[in-house]
Chain A
Amino acid sequence: MSEDAGAGKRGHSALEEHMGFFYIGDEPAGDGVDVAIVAAGGEIDFAVSPQLRERLAAHVDAGRRRLLLDLSTVTFIDSTAIGVLMGAEMRVRELDGGSLALVCGDENRRVLRILEIAGIDSLIDVYDSRDEAISALAAAG
């Protein structure tokens, strides 16, 4: 497996932090689309899930009722991140007409399977593409 190349470098410095790669950021929606879009990528574990919580909470705090979280390029998601999704869904639902949608296409089947096993797909709608999720959010509210 490919990690062998880097394995020997580990442990030589107490300062060396081996974080998994990740990305969490806001992305623009199209003109006239009232949906707050957050894209996440890479490995979303306990080291990173607080940042995901903050990013989603910022939108809820700002009163954004329609949230879209795109997990298409997430390669790993753990139970703490799943807890963040559940918490965000509960918070946004408290807003009038609030809704959270996830995007995770079929090609990302490993993450999709984790979401299914965790039972997320029965609580939060998961869409194949951003366009589908945006349409559903617009229709819902």
Chain B
Amino acid sequence: MAGERAVTGGIASELRLPARASELAAAREYARGAAAAFGLDDDRCYEFAFAVNEAVTNAIRHGRPDEHGDIHLSVRADAERLTFAVRDCGTFAASTFDRVTSSERGRGFALMTRLMDAVQLCAAPGSTTVRLSTLACASRPAVELGV
């Protein structure tokens, strides 16, 4: 069911979110929860949720939802990296990218890239995915207990 929350240890979870602006707060909450489960500190959880909000906003404004009216969010994490994917069923038009980079959508992309360690855009016919990745190490001092 859409809206079910299943972040467990930040390993892997999915959420289908109705493609409505009123759902953005839920997307941020989901992202913040995943970032916290991954072990990011409060500031980086905030930045992660900010970047996710931008990607979801783009999907709602410019993408196309699936047949149920949803966009797809998913979280994957291993020890080093937390990756959040936002997928819609639109076809990203590369020819518009120049226009995009100078627009509000472009501003969102620029902010994402400033705050994340990697931003990846995967465009295929009928599927546009933005993957946001952040590394654990910046907030996790390498504490080694003497053995």
Contact = CB atoms under 8 A, between A and B. Distances in A.
A83 B21 contact: no
Interface-central residue, B23, B24, B108, by most chain A CB under 10 Å: B24
Interface stretch (A3-11, A33-41, A66-74, A94-102): A3-11
Interface stretch (A55-63, A110-118, A127-135): A110-118
Interface residues of B, number: 33
A79 B57 contact: yes
A71 to B, nearest CB: 15
A118 B50 CA distance: 12
A7 B25 contact: no
Contacts of A20: 24-25, 28
A107 interface: no
Given A11-B4, A80-B57, A114-B111, A45 B24 contact: yes
Chain A at the B interface: mostly helix, strand, loop or mixed?
A: loop
B28 to A, nearest CB: 7
Interface of B: 1-5, 18, 21-26, 28-29, 32-33, 36, 43, 45-46, 50, 53-54, 57, 60-61, 104, 107-108, 110-111, 114-115
